[in-house]
Amino acid sequence: MTDVPQGRAGGHGGDENRAHEGRAGEGGGGGNGASAGALFDVSRKTALVTGGSRGIGFMIARALVAAGAHVIVSSRKTADVQAAAAELAAIGQCHAVPADVSTQEGAQQLAAEVRQRFPALHILVNNAGATWGAPLEQFPAGGWQKVLATNVEGVFHLTVALLEPLRAAARAEDPARVINIGSINGIAAPAVENYSYSASKAAVHMLTRHLAKRLAAEHITVNAIAPGPFQSKMMAFALDDPEARAAIEAGVPLGRIGHPDDVAGLTLFLASRAGAYLTGTVIPLDGGITGCN
């Protein structure tokens, strides 16, 4: 999730429920030269992706489903999330649970639904988000309240509400994973006037580090992905305009916007044995925007 236009925008029992038991030499044991396939294996793992009905959330959910994980996708809009889950169910195991994580009550209700389906939750992707853009001197109080409630408080409340199933899935050699979706707008000041959004994503990055420090001893890793420009509803105002898109791509050292495979690959790394020894990191996924400038 990156730059936004002026004005308001939003949006952003059985074997399947057992904790994933890694096998020696297949990515879950001591790590003595596992195959590449085993290193990135997330099959039989359970996952929740918030904001999973579109954009980066849908890209992540699709990657996990295609890789064999059993996934719940959630978002505020019932019709949208049900349609997304139906599309993903054609390639694997996926279910929809509508929810609004911008309130503590909404986060707790979603967590209760998840715990019913998944007594052990291996992967939590906190992707749901909101944004607001307005000129500095006209930026309204409401443009802070909803954005911070969804982007920061929602991440915190949902993670806390799901600690029980995350702990049930956690293993020393194969931790439970929390993956927060931040933004390069929380690393470098953006050109557009999305003050509450950039501040909220910087807060997500610090919350990621703080939670990682607290939960490491419980074998729960917490990392963040900070995307640059990807095709999404949030970026449609710019990427659907050929001139604006060309300008954005020109500002990316690698010369293009992100593809679904880019976020899929990083997610599978963080969710699998390959990323088991990583916690407290914020990884820019931006084609070099923050690293090369």
Catalogue the active-site residues. Answer: 197
Closest CA to 122 of 52, 44, 67: 44
HEC-encoded secondary structure of the chain: CCCCCCEEECCCCCHHHCCCCCCCCCCCCCCCCCCHHHHCCCCCCEEEEECCCCHHHHHHHHHHHHCCCEEEEECCCHHHHHHHHHHHHCCCEEEECCCCCCCHHHHHHHHHHHHHHCCCCCEEEECCCCEEECCHHHCCCHHHHHHHHHHHHHHHHHHHHCHHHHHHHCCCCCCEEEEEECCHHHCCCCCCCCHHHHHHHHHHHHHHHHHHHHHHHHCEEEEEEEECCECCHHHHHHHCCHHHHHHHHHCCCCCCCECHHHHHHHHHHHHCHHHCCCCCCEEEECCCCCCCC
**In this structure, what token pair is assigned to residue 189?**
């000041």
Amino acid occupying residue 83: A
By the 8 A CB rule, do 118 and 72 touch? yes
